[in-house]
Structures are given as C-alpha cells and as structure tokens.
Amino acid sequence: MVTLDTVQQSNGLLASLPQAQGLVAVFIGATSGIGQSALEHFARSTTAPHIYSTARAKTVASHDEFLETLRQENPTGTYTLLTADASLVSDIDHAVDVVLENETKVDLLFMSPGFFAFEGRIDTKEGLDPSMSTRYYSRLRAVQRLLPLLNAAPSPRVVSVLAAGEETPLNEADLDLRDLQNWSMWNASRHACTMGTLALEYIARLNPHLSIVHAHPGAVATPGLARSNTFGLNPPNPMSQDEAGQRAVFNSTNDRYAVQPGLVPVPEGLEVVPKSAGGIFLVGPLGEIKDSEAVLGPMRARGLDETVWNFTLDIFSTCAEKA
C-alpha cells in the first residue's frame, strides 16, 4: 500500500526535477472524474508541460474553461484542447494527428474514458458498443498510433484507468459481443477490461522501453459513480475524486511503476512493483499490485493475446474505412 502522504511527497518533487520539465502528456477522458482530477494535479505539479486533452463537442466549452484555470495556475505550460468523442475510433485518430504533427515525443498517455451502459447497447456510427469503444477500442487506437512518439521519450508511460485485477474469461467466438444474447452491461465491462490487459501486454512485449500501467481505482466519488448509484450500485466508502487524481499522477510519474528509472525516484520503504507475466503493471486503488495470472496465464499460453490484438486491428481498419 502507498500512503497518500507518500503520493503527495512524490508528486511534489515533479516541479523541481530536471527530467520532469517539459513533459508531453496526452489525456483522453479528462473532462470529468478521475481523469480531470489527474490532469489538474499533473498540470499543477509539473514545470512547462505540454498537455493535450480531448473533449466531446458538447463538453468543449466547459473543458476549455477548466483548461483556462490551469493556464492561470501554471502559465509555464501549454494546454491544447482536442475535439474528439472517445467512443469513436476515427475521432481519436483526428486528435492523435494533431499530436503527431506538433510533438517529437510523448512522455505520458493517460486514458480514463468510459461508462456503464445501463440503457443497453446502442451502437455508434462505427458499429461499436460505445461502452466498449471508450474503455477499449479508442484507448488501444491511441496507444497504437502514439507508439513512435512514446518510444522517442526517455521514460514513456501509458496509464489506462479501468479495472486491473478483474479480468475474466472471454467469449472468444464473439469478442465484440455483437450477438445481443452475449451482450450485457457487465459482459461488456469485463470484455473491455480483459481485452485491454491482453492487448496492452502484447504491445508491452513489442515495446520493451515502454512502461504500461493498467490501474483499478476502486470506487471513486465521481459524476459517473453518482449516475451509477441511481441504478442501484452504491458501493460503500468511495475514495474522493481529488485523492484518486493525486494517486493517478503518482502512478503516471513515479519509478515504482517504470520499466526503467527516469522520472521520480521510488520512495524510501517502497520498491518497484513486479510486472504481470505479460509485461505490464496491474495496480490497485492504493498502489498495490493486482494479480490475475490464474485467468490471464492460460489465455496467453493459447495465444489469445495475439488473437485479441489482430481482431482489434481489423476493427481499426473497418473504422478507418467507414470514416
């Protein structure tokens, strides 16, 4: 477990460390909740960051106001708003194009979009379940396309906030749950989580310089949780959104979750956590390691990680054709 005091001390070092100046960070899903809190704390803690953040058309105005507060609080940084709906792979492509045109490296890709589809499956114009595309397809598309810039950074990191440790067996005959008999809100959630871990592991093995964190924040008092509570979830003792954001920055910058040292040194009394057998860091709400090897190991042994990734590439091609 990592205490909040330790998190705050680590984050407090960011502004003074030469290697943490001028960091380039891309945030997807930061218009509210954990992502917004993480963006806020990252912007406040760093010196001269280049920050890119996506927002859907209907949240652009409010998110731009939020970014303006960050410009006032840390005028050393640059803050670029990218209009993109995270449920659409093609929108993520357009957003990434801007980053590719303007940067030579990306130090951090932070992804946290997603929602529970309580109303059922209502496909996007790309033919995908939006609850799965926000939590899986669009995230992996951003990773795939930003790999050249991530690999150009001295200590790059990808952080995907979802449900590490909750992986379950997949419906291998229907990975995107297109058959409505296979789809349910929970099945979509579990598929996105498990496919995400397998695909990120596959990418990690091909890009050994890249540190990848799949984080499970637990219950957090966000607008998303408030909506879920109206449908009867009501988890006890949720963490505050502010604390979750601080912990997200720690996961994104401390060497405890790094393939190789490069940003903030591991705090005294802690150590680098072991990676999953597939090569990524599975992290729980308090910074502890999560273990899903009993589920992931047999799937990896059968090559299901590669199968998932190849299936995902086909989805990307279809989305590009429709765009």
Cβ–Cβ < 8 Å for 110, 26: yes
- For the chain, what are the domain ranges? 4-321
Amino acid at site 108: L
DSSP string, 206-221: H-TT-EEEEE---SEE
Coil, helix or strand for 170?
coil
Q: 285, 290, 268, 169: which is closest to 218 by C-alpha?
A: 285
DSSP designation for 21: B
Quote the percentage of the chain above a pLDDT of 70.
100
What is the pLDDT confidence band of residue 323, given thresholds at 50, 70 and 90? confident
Parallel, antiparallel, or unpaired for β 239-240 and 220-221?
Answer: parallel
| 190-206 residue pLDDT tens | 999 999 999 999 999 99
pLDDT exceeds cutoff 90 at 83: yes
Burial of 2: CB neighbours in 10 Å, binned 0-12, 13-18, 19+: buried
Cβ–Cβ < 8 Å for 53, 296: no
pLDDT exceeds cutoff 90 at 234: no
pLDDT of 148 reads: 98
Question: Once rounded to an integer, what is the mean pLDDT over residues 207-227?
Answer: 95
Coil, helix or strand for 154?
coil
pLDDT exceeds cutoff 90 at 29: yes
Question: Once rounded to an integer, what is the mean pLDDT over residues 141-166?
Answer: 98
CB contact set of 36 (below 8 Å; sequence gap of 6+): 30, 66, 241, 245
CA 153, chain centre distance (Å): 18
Q: How far is CA 125 from CA 128, 129, 137, 139, 140, in A?
A: 7, 10, 14, 18, 19
Cβ–Cβ < 8 Å for 229, 236: no
| d(C-alpha 113, C-alpha 131), whole Å | 9
Question: Once rounded to an integer, what is the mean pLDDT over residues 278-297?
Answer: 97
What is the pLDDT confidence band of residue 44, given thresholds at 50, 70 and 90? very high
pLDDT exceeds cutoff 90 at 122: yes
What is the pLDDT confidence band of residue 111, given thresholds at 50, 70 and 90? very high
DSSP designation for 118: T
- Hey, what are 214's tokens? 């799949």
Q: 142, 134, 112, 137: which is closest to 247 by C-alpha?
A: 112
- Give bridge partners of residue 240 from the DSSP assignment: 221
pLDDT exceeds cutoff 90 at 232: no
Provide CATH code, domain 4-321: 3.40.50.720
Question: Once rounded to an integer, what is the mean pLDDT over residues 38-52?
Answer: 97
| d(C-alpha 184, C-alpha 244), whole Å | 28
